[in-house]
Amino acid sequence: MVFNTGAALLDAIVLAVVAKEEEGTYGYKITQDVRVVLEISESTLYPVLRRLMKDECLSVYDMEFGGRNRRYYKITEKGYAQLQLYRIEWKNYSQKISGLFEGGR
């Protein structure tokens, strides 16, 4: 992708991915789901997850899987509220940019 991806857009994408899983999801799966729309490395993803946890948009819990602990991330009520704001902002932003690209103002 030729466009830079800012922190807010990464936060929004990660929240949208995590929100799809009612019981939460783990880091590798989040990375794979995000990669469907945006190339991202795990080294880029984990700081985003930490920031969203610090901002209380995600909670975390560990669960045993295959003899090892796996860390799961789950969206919080605050995270749902933030995601809704991101959705509104994205709709407005993308409509303006699309209008400009399509010859409008």
**Cα dist. 79→4, 53, 67, 90 in Å?**
24, 9, 30, 16
Flag whether pLDDT at 72 surpasses 70.
yes
- What's 26's DSSP letter? E
Question: What pLDDT score does 76 carry?
Answer: 98
Question: What pLDDT score does 41 carry?
Answer: 86
Torsion angle of C-alpha atoms 43, 71, 52, 23, degrees rounded to 10: 130
Q: Give the mean model confidence (pLDDT) for residues 27-33.
A: 94
Banded pLDDT at 66 (limits 50, 70, 90): confident
CA 26 – CA 21 distance, rounded (Å): 10
Kindly state the tokens that stand for 19: 């929100």
